[in-house]
Structure 1
Amino acid sequence: MIRTAVIVGTGLIGTSAGLALSRRGVRVHLLDVDPQAARGAAALGAGTLAVPTAPVDLAVLAVPPRNVVRVLAEQQDRGLALTYTDVASVKDATTRAVAQGVADQASYVGGHPMAGSERSGPLGARADLFDGRPWVLTPTGQTTADALNRVLAAVALCGAVPVMMDPCDHDRAVALVSHAPHVVASLMAARLRGAPDEALRLAGRGARDVTRIAGGDPRLWRDIIGSNAAHVADTLGGLAEDLNTLVAALRAAATCGPGALAAVEELLDRGQDGWQSVHGPNRASPGAQVTLRVTVAGRPGELGRLLDETAEFGVGADSLRLGAPCDGDAPAATANGSAPDELVAYIAASPGVAELLRRKLAGGGWRVSVAPRSAGAPAPGRATVRTADTLTTGTA
């Protein structure tokens, strides 16, 4: 049971953890070398600036990877907490450094919540940031059961799903799904630097989506990528091979005609398969997804209106699938007695987001329910459903 906690580092993740724990009744204390950041987090409701008078149950070290060992040793020396965890996005190097530089390894559990935002600092924090998201834990043979149980309790209070991983396996995985994507987004964003105004005026959702995460703090990301350099390099090396193949095919097509585009189509096919691995409704996920079932009237503009309603929750067209109403869904008759064509939109979201979205949609007059887990959403084929109501993404 967690009754008291200290957040050391009140950036995006630390402040979000403070907000999440505070909403569940935990007394949270906030520490930061930047007093202004700590005051901002406290003003948001993430905790108190008062110094704890006794060891707290858990200290969450929300500091960059390079600082984890130093801060852990300092806080253990002062007896800040019974148990310590971190949120650094690189675990192998951190685990080895703790083993070499920290006397008390029994009270430490490595951690990494797989949640974030392109925004940094306390003003980007949200109490629901971790809802339904995986939170990786990397206990070692030195970790005590009490320490692990305290961290598991905190993860549950934050609404996240604990995932036990070997530190090296974790680093290899996040190189693929987090670190390399950030580099790719930054590379594309760098191509836009100094672009002519007439080009930038044409930038739509496609350019914004691809470059969104490039807005993160460059110094923090330099530390993260550098701490996981070998695995990131492996991932980017495979990407470089694909890019070289693609460039060669495009140059051949420019001189030999579209018959040279077979390699391009093969890459795009593989890309769509990979897209389904992440966005598909039946993808494997350590966090249980909830599927909402929303009946959409056949009137023009209704599907666009639904997407407008879900946008503030970060739910867009890529989280939505369309299907026909089931036999039990009797459509409402129109004024002239006819029944309009209806669709059912299946929306996949984390449990916390799904519940907030369900309440909003129900309050707005939508017919919405939670789809049975066994039913789920219809699996899409190679082509995605498009209607006149879908929003333009800026790509063609």
Structure 2
Amino acid sequence: MADTVTGPIPEAPDAVPEFPMPRADRCPFDPPPALKELQEQGPLTKVRLWDGSEPWLVTRYAEQRALLGDPRVSADTDSPGYPTKASPEAGEGKLSFIMMDDPEHARLRRMVTAPFAIKRVEALRPAVQRIVDGLIDDLLAGPRPADLVEQFALPLPSLVICELLGVPYDDHAFFQDHTKTMVHRDATPEQRGQAGREVAAYLAGLLGKRLADPREDLLSSIAGRVTAGEIDHRQATEMALLLLIAGHETTANMIALGTHALLQHPDQLALLRETDDPALVASAVEELLRYLHITHLGRRRAVTEDIEIAGQVIKAGEGVIMVNEIANRDPDVFPDPDRLDITRDARRHVAFGFGVHQCLGQPLARMELQVVYGTLYRRIPTLASAVPPEDVRFKHDAFIYGVHELPVTW
């Protein structure tokens, strides 16, 4: 990680804690202890980033939802005061419409909304079920122990997003390797930039083929927008890149991290393994999304007009960081928040954000996780960790949190 606070937050009133903050080694599923301390002190506090800037850190649920839903809060990285990322190596830049404001954000987002509508996603459930069952068949037929990340968690969302976009699965190793570099915190700007350019060039080539020979897939739909003059080829490529990365890195990490958490909570795993109730499976997905937030650096925004909130004025030109993992542990909203309870109603979590920028692909992610969590542990009821918990390596070095490998046996 970049330099972070390693001790308790100083008590001096003028001390500004550094961000991001480290997790406790013995509590890898929990937010950093310093975040919990800040949340107990109040919903807003100034923090210092690597470049010396001091945005507001928002630690409580109500204030995060209020700010994420406020049109005076900008997602545009060019807005004055927008908080820089965690280190000088992290790099900056826009990733299609998620780093834009309305009306351009809404215009571009609408172009790819339809395939992620709940009814369209539900129509994919049988195909996702077949993929999951096939991967489990392969897992059971292979040697033990097996790495659940490499043999299950990564291939599943890759297969699904390839099918949806129209990307040949034969090329999945190429974009998996490159997107790993793009989200790795220790990658240099040159390595990250080169990986991004190579994936973008690959997608630009596919889009060119779809312009000449459209098919029934999302890339063809995006290419059709180019033909209609609504976007240019560069914008289409950026849009495809966003959907490709968001479509497999996040879900893959959630599958593996969720499984590891359940293995460490055998009572909760038993409830899930023994149920045939889709409602309980769906509840487990929401609770795991609440309990295990997979992004470290928060949703970053800049304030365009003065906003009064929680007795404090955030001035125009100041930055704000909403760390959703600590909002999802707000005891005012989720009683006993540090306890994993798959029977809890956790649907109000902010793992997918809130407001106009909330995650476009959340229906697809939810459905994939429901199929996984509702199938894997029933089909392999004796699934167990093949290594002690302390030997599992967590992705403290990546923008998307998870585990590097998860050796399992049965």
TM-score (norm 1): 0.23
Larger Rg: 1
Return the structure number with greater relative CO, CA threshold 8 A, min gap 6: 2
Greater share of strand: 1
